[in-house]
Amino acid sequence: MYKNMGELWKKPRKNLGSLWKTRLIEWRQENVVTRIDKPTRIDRARTLGYKAKQGFVVARVRVLKGKRKRPKFPGGRGPSKRGRFFSAGKSNQIMGEERAARKFPNMEIMNSYYVGEDGSFEWFEVILADPKSPSIASDSERKWITEKQHAGRVFKGLTSSGKKMRGLRKA
């Protein structure tokens, strides 16, 4: 079943049809970081460490596409770096993970994955885990996140997309 779901998400605009369009219209009306009940892509979430049990939270994050805008100053000389637009130096996925981490300060980011985009925005779903939760501390595969060195891991570039940005994972 998960394999078939993965195939659908290779070309979501074509395969999901009108469902894709209605989802994007709904998501545009939501807040930038929205907590959701269950993952949109359960196959992807489970491969990245999600379990449907206490202590796990999934949040959908909206990130503005395109280059970042530098404010235009009114007068004076023209500096050499006066261009209006500049690249952010990190991917939209990392920016989404950081926003989710700031919204839920008591949670740790496990991973994130792509769920959609339109002309202006890109959406990612971020898997968060509560390191204080006893159900996570007792889980042998996921209890590593309760250790002290993993605190604030998204800001240290320790998530999968962070490692990719730092060149520690093959693109």
Asked if 116 and 145 touch (Cβ cutoff 8 Å), the reply is no
Domain-embedded: residue 56: yes
Is 73 within the bounds of a domain? Answer: no
Task: Give the torsion through C-alpha atoms of 65, 158, 154, 56, to 10 deg.
Answer: 110
Q: Are strands 68-69 and 33-36 parallel, antiparallel or unpaired?
A: unpaired
**The pLDDT of residue 87:** 79
Return mean pLDDT, the chain.
Answer: 88
Give residue 103's domain range.
24-66+83-165
Beta bridge partners of 86: 68
**DSSP category for residue 115:** E
The CA R_g of the chain, rounded to the nearest whole Å, is 18
Establish if 19 belongs to a structural domain. Answer: no
Partnered with residue 114 across adjacent β-strands are 124
The model's pLDDT over 109-150, given as tens digits with 9 standing for 90+, comes to 999 999 999 999 999 999 999 999 999 999 898 889 999 888
Residue 72 included in any domain? no
pLDDT above 80: residue 34 = yes
Calculate mean pLDDT across residues 16-40.
Answer: 92
Classify residue 69 by burial, with Cβ atoms within 10 Å: 0-12, 13-18, 19+: exposed
Q: How many domains does the chain have?
A: 1
Q: Which residue has the tokens 């369009």?
A: 21
Residues in the chain: 171
Angle at 32 between CA 121 and CA 86, to 5 degrees: 50
Confidence of residue 171 (pLDDT cuts 50, 70, 90): low
82-98 pLDDT, tens digit per residue, is 777 777 888 999 999 99
pLDDT for 69 equals: 77
For residue 75, pLDDT beyond 80: no
CB 23 within 8 A of CB 17: no
Q: Check whether 5 has a pLDDT greater than 90.
A: no
In this structure, is residue 2 part of a structural domain?
no
Does residue 17 belong to any structural domain of this protein?
A: no
The CATH number covering residue 119 comes to: 3.40.1120.10
Instruction: Grade residue 9 by pLDDT with cuts at 50, 70 and 90.
Output: confident
Does residue 91 lie within any of the structural domains? yes
The DSSP secondary-structure symbol of 35 reads E
pTM of the model: 0.86
Q: What is the per-residue pLDDT for 68?
A: 79
pLDDT in tens, 11-22: 877 778 888 889
CA distance 134 to 167: 34
Task: Please determine, for residue 41, whether its predicted confidence score (pLDDT) is greater than 80.
Answer: yes
Q: Is residue 1 part of a domain?
A: no
